[in-house]
Structure 1
Amino acid sequence: MTPKAGSGPVILGLTGSIGMGKSATARMFADRGIPVHDADAAVHALYGPGGAAAAAIGAAFPGVLDGDGGVDRTRLRAAVLDAPDRMAALEAIVHPLVRAASTDFMARHAAAALVVLDIPLLYETGGAGRCDAVVVVSAPPEIQRARVLARPGMTEAAFAAILAKQMPDAEKRARADFVIDTSRGFPAAEAEVARIVEHLTADRAEPHHGTG
Protein backbone atom coordinates (compact mmCIF):
# COMPACT_ATOMS: atom_id res chain seq x y z
CA MET A 1 0.00 0.00 0.00
CA THR A 2 1.16 3.54 -0.78
CA PRO A 3 0.78 6.28 1.84
CA LYS A 4 -2.59 7.99 1.80
CA ALA A 5 -2.78 11.44 0.29
CA GLY A 6 -5.30 14.11 1.15
CA SER A 7 -6.98 15.19 4.35
CA GLY A 8 -7.86 13.07 7.33
CA PRO A 9 -5.78 10.43 9.07
CA VAL A 10 -4.67 7.17 7.54
CA ILE A 11 -6.88 4.51 9.13
CA LEU A 12 -4.96 1.35 10.00
CA GLY A 13 -6.94 -1.69 11.07
CA LEU A 14 -5.17 -3.90 13.61
CA THR A 15 -6.39 -7.44 14.07
CA GLY A 16 -5.27 -10.95 14.92
CA SER A 17 -6.64 -14.15 16.37
CA ILE A 18 -6.59 -14.90 20.09
CA GLY A 19 -3.13 -15.40 21.56
CA MET A 20 -1.26 -13.76 18.70
CA GLY A 21 -0.01 -10.72 20.64
CA LYS A 22 -2.40 -8.13 19.22
CA SER A 23 -2.89 -6.21 22.46
CA ALA A 24 0.85 -5.91 23.01
CA THR A 25 1.27 -4.73 19.43
CA ALA A 26 -1.48 -2.13 19.90
CA ARG A 27 0.48 -0.75 22.86
CA MET A 28 3.54 -0.43 20.60
CA PHE A 29 1.58 1.85 18.28
CA ALA A 30 0.26 3.83 21.25
CA ASP A 31 3.79 4.16 22.67
CA ARG A 32 4.76 5.87 19.41
CA GLY A 33 2.04 8.46 19.95
CA ILE A 34 -0.44 6.92 17.51
CA PRO A 35 -4.09 7.20 18.66
CA VAL A 36 -5.48 3.67 19.14
CA HIS A 37 -9.16 2.81 19.42
CA ASP A 38 -9.56 -0.43 21.39
CA ALA A 39 -12.85 -2.04 20.37
CA ASP A 40 -12.72 -4.48 23.31
CA ALA A 41 -12.29 -1.61 25.77
CA ALA A 42 -15.23 0.17 24.14
CA VAL A 43 -17.39 -2.93 24.61
CA HIS A 44 -16.23 -3.21 28.24
CA ALA A 45 -17.43 0.36 28.85
CA LEU A 46 -20.75 -0.35 27.11
CA TYR A 47 -21.27 -3.43 29.29
CA GLY A 48 -20.34 -1.73 32.56
CA PRO A 49 -22.76 -0.24 35.11
CA GLY A 50 -24.50 2.65 33.40
CA GLY A 51 -23.01 1.64 30.05
CA ALA A 52 -25.04 2.37 26.94
CA ALA A 53 -25.62 -1.32 26.21
CA ALA A 54 -26.22 -2.69 29.70
CA ALA A 55 -29.95 -1.92 30.08
CA ALA A 56 -30.82 -3.16 26.59
CA ILE A 57 -28.86 -6.38 27.11
CA GLY A 58 -30.51 -6.89 30.50
CA ALA A 59 -33.95 -6.50 28.91
CA ALA A 60 -33.15 -8.90 26.06
CA PHE A 61 -31.42 -11.47 28.27
CA PRO A 62 -33.01 -11.52 31.74
CA GLY A 63 -30.64 -12.49 34.53
CA VAL A 64 -27.37 -11.47 32.90
CA LEU A 65 -26.84 -8.24 34.84
CA ASP A 66 -24.81 -8.19 38.05
CA GLY A 67 -25.72 -6.43 41.27
CA ASP A 68 -24.25 -3.14 40.04
CA GLY A 69 -26.29 -3.12 36.85
CA GLY A 70 -23.42 -4.12 34.58
CA VAL A 71 -23.34 -7.15 32.31
CA ASP A 72 -21.98 -10.35 33.82
CA ARG A 73 -20.06 -11.70 30.83
CA THR A 74 -20.08 -15.28 32.13
CA ARG A 75 -23.88 -15.27 32.36
CA LEU A 76 -24.19 -13.56 28.99
CA ARG A 77 -21.86 -16.08 27.36
CA ALA A 78 -24.02 -18.91 28.73
CA ALA A 79 -27.17 -17.19 27.45
CA VAL A 80 -25.93 -17.01 23.85
CA LEU A 81 -23.84 -20.20 23.72
CA ASP A 82 -24.81 -22.37 20.75
CA ALA A 83 -27.78 -20.06 20.03
CA PRO A 84 -27.19 -18.15 16.78
CA ASP A 85 -30.48 -16.26 17.06
CA ARG A 86 -29.56 -14.98 20.52
CA MET A 87 -26.07 -14.05 19.36
CA ALA A 88 -27.60 -12.13 16.46
CA ALA A 89 -29.87 -10.29 18.88
CA LEU A 90 -26.89 -9.38 21.05
CA GLU A 91 -24.91 -8.14 18.05
CA ALA A 92 -27.87 -6.02 16.93
CA ILE A 93 -27.67 -4.22 20.28
CA VAL A 94 -23.91 -3.92 20.60
CA HIS A 95 -22.56 -3.36 17.07
CA PRO A 96 -24.25 0.02 16.43
CA LEU A 97 -22.98 1.29 19.78
CA VAL A 98 -19.46 0.06 19.05
CA ARG A 99 -19.58 1.79 15.66
CA ALA A 100 -20.73 5.03 17.34
CA ALA A 101 -17.79 4.85 19.76
CA SER A 102 -15.45 4.41 16.80
CA THR A 103 -17.00 7.38 15.01
CA ASP A 104 -16.50 9.53 18.11
CA PHE A 105 -12.86 8.41 18.30
CA MET A 106 -12.30 9.39 14.67
CA ALA A 107 -13.85 12.80 15.25
CA ARG A 108 -11.57 13.43 18.24
CA HIS A 109 -8.46 12.52 16.24
CA ALA A 110 -9.37 14.05 12.87
CA ALA A 111 -6.09 15.99 12.80
CA ALA A 112 -3.87 12.96 13.37
CA ALA A 113 -1.66 11.61 10.57
CA LEU A 114 -2.44 8.00 11.50
CA VAL A 115 -4.96 6.25 13.73
CA VAL A 116 -5.27 2.58 14.62
CA LEU A 117 -8.55 0.70 14.97
CA ASP A 118 -7.80 -2.31 17.19
CA ILE A 119 -10.63 -4.72 16.31
CA PRO A 120 -10.32 -8.46 17.08
CA LEU A 121 -13.00 -9.48 14.53
CA LEU A 122 -12.09 -6.87 11.92
CA TYR A 123 -12.52 -9.13 8.91
CA GLU A 124 -15.37 -11.15 10.38
CA THR A 125 -17.51 -8.04 10.96
CA GLY A 126 -16.65 -6.30 7.68
CA GLY A 127 -14.64 -3.60 9.44
CA ALA A 128 -11.73 -3.82 7.02
CA GLY A 129 -13.74 -1.84 4.51
CA ARG A 130 -13.38 1.25 6.72
CA CYS A 131 -9.60 0.99 6.78
CA ASP A 132 -6.93 2.27 4.41
CA ALA A 133 -4.69 -0.65 5.35
CA VAL A 134 -4.76 -3.64 7.71
CA VAL A 135 -2.02 -5.17 9.82
CA VAL A 136 -2.49 -8.72 11.07
CA VAL A 137 -0.63 -9.89 14.16
CA SER A 138 0.29 -13.54 13.85
CA ALA A 139 2.32 -16.40 15.32
CA PRO A 140 2.69 -20.13 14.58
CA PRO A 141 -0.24 -22.31 15.79
CA GLU A 142 1.78 -24.06 18.48
CA ILE A 143 2.83 -20.74 20.03
CA GLN A 144 -0.72 -19.40 19.84
CA ARG A 145 -2.05 -22.53 21.53
CA ALA A 146 0.52 -22.43 24.34
CA ARG A 147 -0.18 -18.75 25.02
CA VAL A 148 -3.94 -19.17 25.13
CA LEU A 149 -4.03 -22.33 27.24
CA ALA A 150 -1.73 -20.64 29.78
CA ARG A 151 -4.45 -18.09 30.51
CA PRO A 152 -6.35 -18.56 33.80
CA GLY A 153 -9.58 -20.48 33.32
CA MET A 154 -8.96 -21.27 29.67
CA THR A 155 -9.84 -24.77 28.50
CA GLU A 156 -9.38 -26.71 25.28
CA ALA A 157 -13.12 -26.49 24.63
CA ALA A 158 -13.23 -22.74 25.17
CA PHE A 159 -10.20 -22.24 22.93
CA ALA A 160 -11.81 -24.34 20.19
CA ALA A 161 -15.06 -22.35 20.48
CA ILE A 162 -13.20 -19.04 20.14
CA LEU A 163 -11.24 -20.26 17.11
CA ALA A 164 -14.46 -21.42 15.46
CA LYS A 165 -15.73 -17.82 15.45
CA GLN A 166 -12.53 -16.37 14.02
CA MET A 167 -11.33 -16.33 10.44
CA PRO A 168 -8.37 -18.71 10.03
CA ASP A 169 -5.04 -17.00 10.59
CA ALA A 170 -3.77 -17.98 7.14
CA GLU A 171 -6.70 -16.23 5.48
CA LYS A 172 -6.16 -13.10 7.57
CA ARG A 173 -2.50 -13.01 6.62
CA ALA A 174 -3.37 -13.44 2.95
CA ARG A 175 -5.71 -10.43 3.10
CA ALA A 176 -3.44 -8.18 5.16
CA ASP A 177 -1.35 -5.27 3.93
CA PHE A 178 1.16 -5.92 6.73
CA VAL A 179 1.87 -8.95 8.94
CA ILE A 180 3.68 -8.77 12.28
CA ASP A 181 4.96 -12.15 13.55
CA THR A 182 5.26 -11.90 17.33
CA SER A 183 6.99 -15.29 17.58
CA ARG A 184 10.19 -13.48 16.55
CA GLY A 185 10.11 -11.53 19.81
CA PHE A 186 8.72 -8.16 20.76
CA PRO A 187 11.82 -6.14 19.76
CA ALA A 188 11.33 -7.42 16.20
CA ALA A 189 7.63 -6.57 16.43
CA GLU A 190 8.48 -3.05 17.62
CA ALA A 191 10.78 -2.63 14.63
CA GLU A 192 7.95 -3.70 12.31
CA VAL A 193 5.58 -1.23 13.98
CA ALA A 194 8.12 1.57 13.45
CA ARG A 195 8.50 0.59 9.78
CA ILE A 196 4.72 0.55 9.24
CA VAL A 197 4.23 3.93 10.92
CA GLU A 198 7.03 5.44 8.85
CA HIS A 199 5.60 4.04 5.63
CA LEU A 200 2.03 5.17 6.27
CA THR A 201 2.94 8.67 7.42
CA ALA A 202 5.79 9.36 4.97
CA ASP A 203 3.88 11.94 2.98
CA ARG A 204 2.72 13.68 6.15
CA ALA A 205 6.22 14.11 7.55
CA GLU A 206 7.49 16.40 4.82
CA PRO A 207 6.63 20.11 5.10
CA HIS A 208 4.55 21.55 2.30
CA HIS A 209 5.75 24.94 1.12
CA GLY A 210 3.60 27.44 -0.70
CA THR A 211 4.67 29.04 -3.95
CA GLY A 212 3.74 32.59 -2.95
Structure 2
Amino acid sequence: MSSEATPIAERHAILSGRALPDNDRVRAVVAPFAARWILRGGAEVSAPAGAAFGAPPPLEPLRAAAEGARAALWLGPDEWLLIAEDDEPGLGAAVEAALAGFPHALTDVSHRQCAIELSGPGAARLLNAGVPLDLDVEAFPVGMVARTLLLKAEITLWRREAERFRLEVARSFAPYVAAVLTASARDQAAG
Protein backbone atom coordinates (compact mmCIF):
# COMPACT_ATOMS: atom_id res chain seq x y z
CA MET A 1 0.00 0.00 0.00
CA SER A 2 1.12 3.46 -0.79
CA SER A 3 1.68 5.93 1.99
CA GLU A 4 0.37 8.74 -0.22
CA ALA A 5 -2.91 10.32 0.77
CA THR A 6 -5.95 9.53 -1.35
CA PRO A 7 -6.71 12.46 -3.63
CA ILE A 8 -9.89 14.35 -2.79
CA ALA A 9 -12.16 15.44 -5.61
CA GLU A 10 -12.78 19.16 -5.74
CA ARG A 11 -15.73 20.85 -7.37
CA HIS A 12 -14.72 23.56 -9.82
CA ALA A 13 -17.22 25.94 -11.34
CA ILE A 14 -17.42 25.65 -15.12
CA LEU A 15 -16.98 29.42 -15.37
CA SER A 16 -13.99 29.73 -13.04
CA GLY A 17 -11.59 32.28 -14.45
CA ARG A 18 -13.94 33.39 -17.26
CA ALA A 19 -14.51 37.07 -17.87
CA LEU A 20 -18.01 38.33 -17.13
CA PRO A 21 -19.42 41.85 -17.53
CA ASP A 22 -18.59 44.16 -14.65
CA ASN A 23 -19.05 47.86 -15.30
CA ASP A 24 -21.12 50.80 -14.07
CA ARG A 25 -24.24 49.54 -15.96
CA VAL A 26 -24.22 45.78 -15.35
CA ARG A 27 -22.47 43.22 -13.21
CA ALA A 28 -22.54 39.49 -13.85
CA VAL A 29 -21.41 36.91 -11.31
CA VAL A 30 -21.47 33.15 -11.23
CA ALA A 31 -24.08 32.05 -8.71
CA PRO A 32 -22.82 29.69 -6.01
CA PHE A 33 -23.38 25.97 -6.43
CA ALA A 34 -26.98 24.98 -5.79
CA ALA A 35 -28.84 21.69 -5.55
CA ARG A 36 -31.50 21.46 -8.28
CA TRP A 37 -34.36 19.14 -9.08
CA ILE A 38 -36.88 18.97 -11.88
CA LEU A 39 -40.30 18.15 -10.42
CA ARG A 40 -42.99 16.79 -12.73
CA GLY A 41 -46.56 16.21 -11.58
CA GLY A 42 -50.03 17.65 -11.42
CA ALA A 43 -51.14 20.65 -9.38
CA GLU A 44 -51.74 18.36 -6.39
CA VAL A 45 -47.96 17.95 -5.84
CA SER A 46 -47.42 21.67 -5.22
CA ALA A 47 -48.53 21.80 -1.57
CA PRO A 48 -46.72 18.69 -0.27
CA ALA A 49 -43.58 19.44 -2.30
CA GLY A 50 -43.59 23.04 -1.10
CA ALA A 51 -44.00 22.00 2.54
CA ALA A 52 -41.01 19.65 2.31
CA PHE A 53 -38.87 21.86 0.09
CA GLY A 54 -39.51 25.21 1.74
CA ALA A 55 -40.78 27.09 -1.34
CA PRO A 56 -44.07 26.09 -2.96
CA PRO A 57 -44.02 25.30 -6.69
CA PRO A 58 -46.17 28.09 -8.17
CA LEU A 59 -49.35 27.14 -9.99
CA GLU A 60 -49.48 30.46 -11.87
CA PRO A 61 -47.69 30.19 -15.24
CA LEU A 62 -44.32 31.89 -15.71
CA ARG A 63 -43.84 32.66 -12.01
CA ALA A 64 -41.33 31.87 -9.28
CA ALA A 65 -41.75 31.41 -5.55
CA ALA A 66 -38.74 32.05 -3.33
CA GLU A 67 -38.18 31.60 0.41
CA GLY A 68 -34.68 32.39 1.63
CA ALA A 69 -32.17 30.15 -0.17
CA ARG A 70 -34.91 28.11 -1.88
CA ALA A 71 -36.83 28.82 -5.06
CA ALA A 72 -39.36 26.99 -7.22
CA LEU A 73 -39.64 28.11 -10.84
CA TRP A 74 -42.60 27.29 -13.09
CA LEU A 75 -41.33 25.70 -16.30
CA GLY A 76 -44.58 24.30 -17.67
CA PRO A 77 -48.08 23.20 -16.62
CA ASP A 78 -46.67 20.15 -14.83
CA GLU A 79 -42.98 21.02 -14.44
CA TRP A 80 -40.94 23.07 -11.97
CA LEU A 81 -37.27 23.71 -11.29
CA LEU A 82 -36.48 23.54 -7.56
CA ILE A 83 -33.30 25.38 -6.53
CA ALA A 84 -31.70 25.09 -3.07
CA GLU A 85 -28.64 27.29 -2.56
CA ASP A 86 -28.19 26.00 0.99
CA ASP A 87 -27.44 22.41 -0.16
CA GLU A 88 -29.16 20.78 2.83
CA PRO A 89 -28.31 17.04 2.99
CA GLY A 90 -31.34 14.83 2.46
CA LEU A 91 -33.53 17.57 0.99
CA GLY A 92 -34.31 15.61 -2.19
CA ALA A 93 -35.22 12.54 -0.13
CA ALA A 94 -37.52 14.66 2.05
CA VAL A 95 -39.34 16.03 -1.00
CA GLU A 96 -39.59 12.52 -2.45
CA ALA A 97 -41.05 11.20 0.83
CA ALA A 98 -43.60 14.05 0.94
CA LEU A 99 -44.76 13.08 -2.54
CA ALA A 100 -45.30 9.39 -1.76
CA GLY A 101 -48.71 8.42 -3.11
CA PHE A 102 -48.79 11.24 -5.71
CA PRO A 103 -47.95 10.54 -9.36
CA HIS A 104 -44.75 12.50 -9.93
CA ALA A 105 -41.13 12.45 -11.02
CA LEU A 106 -38.32 14.16 -9.10
CA THR A 107 -34.96 14.24 -10.88
CA ASP A 108 -31.74 15.62 -9.43
CA VAL A 109 -30.16 17.94 -12.03
CA SER A 110 -27.68 19.63 -9.71
CA HIS A 111 -24.65 18.92 -11.86
CA ARG A 112 -26.39 19.54 -15.18
CA GLN A 113 -26.59 23.31 -15.00
CA CYS A 114 -25.22 26.45 -13.44
CA ALA A 115 -26.45 30.00 -12.99
CA ILE A 116 -25.30 33.53 -13.71
CA GLU A 117 -26.73 36.51 -11.82
CA LEU A 118 -26.93 39.83 -13.68
CA SER A 119 -27.68 43.09 -11.92
CA GLY A 120 -27.62 46.79 -12.59
CA PRO A 121 -29.50 49.38 -14.61
CA GLY A 122 -28.19 47.92 -17.89
CA ALA A 123 -28.99 44.25 -17.17
CA ALA A 124 -32.20 44.08 -19.24
CA ARG A 125 -30.58 45.88 -22.17
CA LEU A 126 -27.58 43.56 -22.04
CA LEU A 127 -29.85 40.50 -22.06
CA ASN A 128 -31.89 41.89 -24.94
CA ALA A 129 -28.77 41.72 -27.10
CA GLY A 130 -29.53 37.99 -27.35
CA VAL A 131 -32.89 37.30 -25.68
CA PRO A 132 -35.95 37.81 -27.93
CA LEU A 133 -38.33 38.71 -25.05
CA ASP A 134 -39.53 42.17 -24.08
CA LEU A 135 -37.66 42.66 -20.80
CA ASP A 136 -39.28 45.95 -19.89
CA VAL A 137 -40.39 45.58 -16.26
CA GLU A 138 -44.04 46.07 -17.33
CA ALA A 139 -43.87 43.17 -19.81
CA PHE A 140 -41.52 40.93 -17.77
CA PRO A 141 -42.24 41.86 -14.13
CA VAL A 142 -40.35 40.90 -10.98
CA GLY A 143 -40.96 37.23 -10.20
CA MET A 144 -41.51 36.22 -13.83
CA VAL A 145 -39.73 33.16 -15.26
CA ALA A 146 -39.45 32.02 -18.87
CA ARG A 147 -37.59 29.42 -20.84
CA THR A 148 -36.04 31.25 -23.75
CA LEU A 149 -32.92 31.55 -25.86
CA LEU A 150 -29.82 33.68 -25.46
CA LEU A 151 -28.79 33.56 -29.12
CA LYS A 152 -28.16 29.80 -29.56
CA ALA A 153 -28.30 28.70 -25.91
CA GLU A 154 -31.49 27.66 -24.11
CA ILE A 155 -31.77 29.40 -20.76
CA THR A 156 -34.29 29.81 -18.00
CA LEU A 157 -34.56 33.50 -17.20
CA TRP A 158 -35.90 34.71 -13.84
CA ARG A 159 -36.35 38.38 -12.96
CA ARG A 160 -35.60 38.46 -9.23
CA GLU A 161 -35.73 42.26 -8.81
CA ALA A 162 -36.32 45.19 -11.16
CA GLU A 163 -32.61 45.27 -12.09
CA ARG A 164 -31.59 41.70 -11.19
CA PHE A 165 -31.90 38.53 -13.28
CA ARG A 166 -30.85 34.91 -12.85
CA LEU A 167 -29.96 32.82 -15.90
CA GLU A 168 -30.05 29.06 -15.45
CA VAL A 169 -28.08 27.38 -18.24
CA ALA A 170 -26.75 23.92 -19.06
CA ARG A 171 -23.11 23.63 -17.98
CA SER A 172 -22.07 22.76 -21.54
CA PHE A 173 -23.47 26.10 -22.78
CA ALA A 174 -22.17 28.21 -19.87
CA PRO A 175 -18.87 29.27 -21.52
CA TYR A 176 -20.81 30.30 -24.64
CA VAL A 177 -23.33 32.31 -22.56
CA ALA A 178 -20.50 34.01 -20.65
CA ALA A 179 -18.78 34.93 -23.93
CA VAL A 180 -22.02 36.32 -25.40
CA LEU A 181 -22.68 38.44 -22.30
CA THR A 182 -19.11 39.74 -22.23
CA ALA A 183 -19.11 40.60 -25.95
CA SER A 184 -22.51 42.30 -25.65
CA ALA A 185 -21.32 44.39 -22.68
CA ARG A 186 -18.20 45.40 -24.62
CA ASP A 187 -20.31 46.37 -27.67
CA GLN A 188 -22.69 48.43 -25.54
CA ALA A 189 -19.81 50.24 -23.82
CA ALA A 190 -18.33 51.12 -27.22
CA GLY A 191 -21.71 52.31 -28.57
TM-score in terms of structure 2 length? 0.29
More strand by share: 2
Higher helix share: 1
Bigger CA radius of gyration: 1
Higher RCO (C-alpha 8 Å, min separation 6): 1
